[in-house]
Chains A and B, each alone.
Chain A
């Protein structure tokens, strides 16, 4: 290694390490504070202190578990909804021939450009007229459609259709000649081949649904119906200075996303670094 290379490497790592430390600092702070009581916190708020106060987690879970369950319900129903609805439509748009295919496709895809801020108010009135306000359906239906939070079927159909499109036509012809019905072709050939794309769509939908605050805060009023984002804010309001239980609650709320990323990081990083996404 020449002196110049050594010099470059030193600078590179100094900058990167500083940025990594600053980026991860909030996560560190959240996790170490979650096992402290206030005496330990004000004594040393940066480091690890013993003994660990695991009771913070019991206290936090007791309060946030209903929000947690609601979030899991809303997220799983809307993810399944988006995946099922958009896989069917994307397959039809990519592989089936029918009158009006192009028009219907562009009609749906145009919605990617439709900002949620335009649709939010009438969506609220619509949900109100359906008598669904203050219920989990008030979140699930608009989340499937997209807009209020990002995600939704329009973007999913766009991604999935391009994947279905990239499968060589011969594969489908061969299956049909072998006597497979159109439904069998879809289920046994189409779906398995685009599984990575379905995973990507599902991840994005989970992230936007798990995180949505604005729409949720407008449509849910009863605390037993709260999902995590809004539940955590009210939890914070009740514990303004109980840092330990508060941070334990935040850590618990992060766990499903930790699990999701542990399972999919490689796909996510490689999918995005290899794909040529640009405008």
Chain B
């Protein structure tokens, strides 16, 4: 306590005489800030050890042969070459592009339409209840959602039972086990990157709602006076006003989507064969099945650079469109 109150007088004096602070020596300023350094220290220690060090280590070890135990040896670009030349590579890239395209379109449209529909409801209470219904899936752990979908797609699972019930038993499939259907089954369920079918993501819904609510009423009234119907108003007046929200969801979906392969890991492990693999899963398997940490670091580095580039492009394009 004595320590704290002495630093109080120092900090208090600094606050009371702003100009005086600049005249003190560097050493005195460091000393005056000792409580602050004490406050920042734990965060800094954690971040340096568990974020900065691993990040730099990955960027370096991507260029080495490394099994995580014996010292790494320089490998040049060979890890990157063997990643690109891996027979799984074209499949993995094709899958991630296909899945991301589908999920991005869904994340940018479905919650937005629902947000708009809910805002049209007169009673604030009913609006709240509707939003609540779409937020409710948050209470189900992600793994449970994925396992429930595994149950939907199982041999004697929900989907096949439903088909039998409507006398379409001839359409029954091994939804996750057949190469023809596995990728599309995983795409259709959503569940990781985008909310599970029917894709009304609670988070996106709230973000879009905030954006739509912030549009001044006069703007919409002016459009209505000019004779624009609700659809026209939506596309010409409201949509341009929520670009910021759309961009946020776009960036978040890309960042999260490229990294997330939880559902593939749980449902198919990339199989049958490797038809459902994605680059992230290739990294996981290189590291934790093959102990090839150098190769895994190279894939991690590549994905990091792709995420970085896409994010920068997004921010640039955003800024330019605002300038014009």
Contact = CB atoms under 8 A, between A and B. Distances in A.
Contacts of B117: 12, 15-16
A269 interface: yes
A202 interface: no
Interface stretch (B30-38, B95-103, B174-182, B218-226): B30-38
A97 B143 contact: no
B251 A279 contact: yes
B50 A147 contact: yes
A26 B207 contact: no
B39 A228 contact: no
B121 interface: yes
Interface in B167-219: 196-198, 200, 203, 206-207, 209-211, 213-214
A145 B50 contact: yes
A27 B4 contact: no
Contacts of B247: 278-279
B15 interface: yes
Contacts of B15: 97, 173, 176
A122 B58 contact: yes
B134 A23 contact: yes
Given A111-B51, A117-B258, A269-B128, A86 B33 contact: no
A48 interface: no
Interface residues of B, number: 114
B133 interface: yes
B114 A121 contact: no
Nearest to B7: A182
A269 B248 contact: no
Contacts of B245: 277-278
A270 B44 CA distance: 32
A29 B151 CA distance: 10
B7 to A, nearest CB: 6
Interface in B211-249: 211, 213-214, 230, 242, 244-245, 247-248
B136 A218 contact: no
A163 interface: no
Interface stretch (A54-62, A124-132, A191-199): A124-132
Contact of B46 (A107, A125, A153): A153
B83 interface: no
Interface in B263-298: 265-266, 280, 283-284, 287-288, 293, 296-297
A98 B26 CA distance: 10
Contact of A236 (B55, B150, B251, B260): B150
A128 B287 CA distance: 13
A111 to B, nearest CB: 5
Contacts of B71: none
B318 interface: yes
Contact of A214 (B14, B156, B284): B284
Interface in A255-279: 257-258, 260-261, 265, 268-269, 272-279
A136 B38 CA distance: 27
A232 B40 contact: no
A188 to B, nearest CB: 13
A232 B258 CA distance: 25
Interface in A229-248: 229-230, 232-233, 236, 240-241, 243, 246
A108 B43 CA distance: 8
A142 interface: yes
A157 B42 CA distance: 12
B265 A98 contact: no
Interface residues of A, number: 100
A210 B145 CA distance: 13
Interface in A161-215: 173, 176, 180-184, 207, 210-211, 213-214
B135 A265 contact: yes
Interface string A66-90: 0000000000000000001110110
B90 interface: no
Contacts of B197: 22
Contacts of B136: 23-24, 27, 261
B147 A232 contact: yes
Q: Which 9 A-B pairs have the closest CB atoms?
A: A98-B33, A278-B244, A145-B50, A122-B57, A122-B54, A89-B43, A92-B39, A272-B206, A96-B36
Interface of B: 1, 4-5, 7-8, 11-12, 14-15, 21, 26, 29-30, 32-33, 35-37, 39-40, 42-44, 46-47, 49-55, 57-59, 61, 68, 114, 117-118, 120-121, 128, 130-145, 147-151, 154, 156, 158, 161, 196-198, 200, 203, 206-207, 209-211, 213-214, 230, 242, 244-245, 247-248, 251, 255-256, 258-262, 265-266, 280, 283-284, 287-288, 293, 296-297, 300-301, 303-304, 307-308, 311, 314-315, 318
Given A115-B303, A273-B213, 18 more contacts: A16-B118, A23-B133, A92-B40, A97-B11, A97-B15, A99-B33, A117-B303, A122-B58, A207-B138, A211-B142, A213-B266, A228-B143, A246-B151, A258-B139, A274-B210, A279-B247, A279-B248, A279-B318
